[in-house]
Amino acid sequence: MRITVDTERCMGSGMCVLTAEEVFDQREDDGKVVVLRPEPPAGDRDAVREAVGLCPAGAITLSAGDRT
Amino acid sequence: MGEAPHTITTLPTERPPGRPFDPPPELVEARRHGPISAYTFPGGKQGWLVTGFDLVRQVLADQRFSSRKELMLHPTVDYGDFVVPPAPPGEFLLMDEPRHGRYRRPLTARFTVRRMRLLTERIEQVTAEHLDAMAKAGPPADLVTAFAKPIPAVMICELLGVPYEERGSFQENVDKFMDGETNDEDLMAAYTSTQEYLAGLVAAKRANPTDDVLSELTESDLDDEELRGIALILLAAGIDTTANMLSLGTFALLRHPEQLAALRGDPALADRAVEELLRYLSVAKTFMRTALEDVEVGGQLIRAGSPVIASYHTANRDPDRFTDPHGLDLARQEGGHLAFGHGIHQCLGQQLARVEMRVAFPALLGRFPTLRLAVDPEEVDLRPETADIYGVKRLPVTWDA
């Protein structure tokens, strides 16, 4: 699994951080998303999928990564 | 396109006796017929009522549905030819991009998950102070004035930089905006007096900046009128919404003793419990949108200019989305709800509200192990369905001293 984010769309709701805090954070200066682990470990992937669904701006997309 | 939609002719103005937590049956019934219903607005304009979870989400995520105040039609009152002006500068809730972003963007970094979590200790302190005062003065107590209102009010005032001793009159005026029962003349007076207060506050922050959000914003290119508008909606939203969640939430817990016992026994349940109370109660129950162009939603063609009512509280009880939707289950595993909305207008203060509730509910239950209603549940005074934010007016409680 590989995570890409669109910081133009991101509105800084923090839902991804709330849902998968090992994987996402928010920038200090504008609250927008930072991906800490673009290829999240297996244990975080369910939370990442949930975060994708919860994002109010539709700013997170997933693609198949090298190790999926 | 699509088959003839289900039609509803009037919107309910109150909830049935004995079921204060459920959306009005007329709305649940509309959802049963389908996720979108046709609704003729007073005055004859053809519009829509959206009650399905997926469709409400879809409408809120689609910027072809406008939030602009000047396009909005009141769902139950016909104001005739009265022309509604655009939202005043700073009041970004009822704006579209790019106006909305100009005001919301500088605020985003101040309300992040991390920054709100840093407030946990302060919220614990404020909560403990109010619980101490409540224990000392009672039993009994009105939980609204002793607990639910002051905790979020102190927090949003500290964040914005409203001096504590100036909070009282300001809060009274906000109550008038929100209670759904104040007449137009009193509303105007409350609005004017609030604007005057905020003008003074903004001037004070410009002259002597302090360590708070409003002072930080004086360093941006926003002018005084814009800052006043931003301060108004942040304060109103911060004061009224969480307060109603705390009081109505406590009422709901007291009416579900097995759920209350579960939360009291396991404070680690608080995170999930708060999400479930948000879903179950959905105090911000209805928001309006207006189609800017023809859009198809759920097989129906919504024509440009048509008003759309998004029914959050009905959507959060959608049986296609939630198992046993009308049950309060604090351990519910199904995440996601629309209590804070969706799309670009999703609640800016949601992470603050979460931290406040995650602290306050367990603290209340822990402090008063015998907390109970001091009146029959039927006697608890509820806000009318016409109020923007639902809740109890007073919640008389008692306990074994």
Whole-complex ipTM: 0.94
Q: Does residue B251 belong to any structural domain of this protein?
A: yes
User: What pLDDT shows up at residue B83?
Assistant: 87
Contacts of A12 in chain B (CB under 8 A): 108-109, 111-112
Question: How many domains, chain B?
Answer: 1
Instruction: Give the single-character DSSP code of B368.
Output: -
Does some domain include residue B206?
yes
Do B277 and B148 touch, CB atoms closer than 8 A? no
Judge if the upstream peptide bond of residue B209 is cis by omega within 30 degrees of 0.
no
Go through chain B and tell me how many residues it has.
401
Q: Which residues pair with B47 in a beta bridge?
A: B39
Residue pair B241/B283 in contact by the 8 Å Cβ criterion: yes
- In chain B, what residues touch A32 (CB-CB under 8 Å)? 108
Residue in chain B closest to A57 (alpha carbons) equals B343
* Residue B131 and residue B364 in contact, taking contact as beta carbons nearer than 8 Å: yes
- The beta-carbon neighbor of A17 closest among B110, B113, B342 is B113
At residue B1, the pLDDT reads: 53
DSSP code of B71? Answer: G
- B285 reaches A (C-beta below 8 A): no
pLDDT confidence of residue B186: 86
pLDDT on residue A67? 54
Which residue is closest to B335 within chain A, CA to CA? A50
* Domain assignment of residue B221, given as a range: 6-398
Interface of A with B in 4-33 (CB under 8 A): 11-14, 17-19, 21, 25-32
Going from the C-alpha of B246 to that of each of B147, B264, B341, the distances in angstroms are 8, 15, 19
The reply to whether residue B109 touches residue A17, judged by beta carbons under 8 angstroms, is no
CA distance B116 to chain A (A): 11
Give the pLDDT score at B166. Answer: 84
- Spell out the per-residue pLDDT of chain B, length 401, in tens: 567 889 998 888 888 889 999 999 999 999 999 999 999 999 899 999 999 999 999 999 999 999 999 999 999 888 888 889 999 999 999 999 999 999 999 999 999 999 999 999 999 999 999 999 999 998 999 999 999 999 999 999 999 999 878 887 778 888 887 777 788 888 888 888 888 999 999 999 999 999 999 999 999 999 999 999 999 999 989 889 999 999 999 999 999 999 999 999 999 999 999 999 999 999 999 999 999 999 999 999 999 999 999 999 999 999 999 999 999 999 999 889 999 999 999 999 999 999 999 999 999 999 999 999 999 999 999 998 888 899 999 999 999 98
Cα–Cα distance for residue pair B23/B16, rounded to 1 Å: 9
| Cα nearest neighbour of A47 on chain B | B335
Q: Please check whether residue B255 lies inside any domain of the structure.
A: yes
The distance of B115 to chain A (nearest Cα, Å) reads: 9
Is B108 close to A29, i.e. CB distance below 8 A?
Answer: no
pLDDT of residue A24: 98
Residue A37 above 90 pLDDT? yes
Q: Which residue of A has its CA nearest to B54?
A: A53
**Mean pLDDT to the nearest integer, A23-28:** 97
User: CB B113 to CB A21 under 8 A?
Assistant: yes
Asked if the Cβ–Cβ distance from B109 to A28 is below 8 Å, we say yes
Cβ atoms < 10 Å from Cβ of B348: 24
CB of B354 within 8 Å of any CB in chain A?
yes
Which of B108, B118, B220 to mutate to probe the A interface, most A CBs <10 Å? B108
Of A27, A30, A56, the CB nearest to B342: A56
Chain A with chain B: Cβ pairs closer than 8 A: 54
Interface contact flag, B112 A12, Cβ < 8 Å: yes
| Chain A residues near residue B111 by CB distance under 8 angstroms | 12, 14, 31
Please report where in the chains the tokens 């998303």 appear, as a residue: A33
Long-range contacts: B83-92, Cβ < 8 Å, 24+? B87/B229, B88/B225, B88/B229, B89/B223, B89/B225, B89/B226, B89/B229, B90/B222, B90/B225, B90/B226, B90/B227, B90/B228, B90/B229, B90/B230, B90/B231, B90/B232, B90/B233, B91/B229, B91/B230, B91/B232, B91/B233, B92/B229, B92/B230, B92/B233
Are B351 and A53 in contact (CB < 8 Å)?
no
Q: Chain B residues with CB inside 8 Å of A13's CB?
A: 346, 350
CATH of domain A2-63: 3.30.70.20
Write the CB contacts of B365 (distance below 8 Å, at least 6 apart in sequence).
Answer: B253, B260, B263, B264, B371
- CA dist., res. B187 & res. B193, Å (int): 10
B346–A30 CB contact, under 8 Å = no
Q: Provide the CATH number for the domain around residue B389.
A: 1.10.630.10
What 3-state class would DSSP assign to A56? coil
For residue B2, what pLDDT is reported? 60
Residue B150 Cα distances to B128, B147, B194, B293, angstroms: 12, 6, 18, 43
Kindly state whether residue B1 falls inside one of the protein's structural domains. no
User: At B395, phi and psi to the nearest 5?
Assistant: -130, 90
Q: How far apart are CA B292 and CA B400, in angstroms?
A: 58
Min CA distance, A45 vs chain B (Å)?
15
pLDDT value of position B210: 93
Q: Contact B108/A56, CB-based, under 8 Å?
A: no
- Is pLDDT at A27 greater than 90 in this prediction? yes
Which H or E element spans position B168?
Answer: helix B167-178
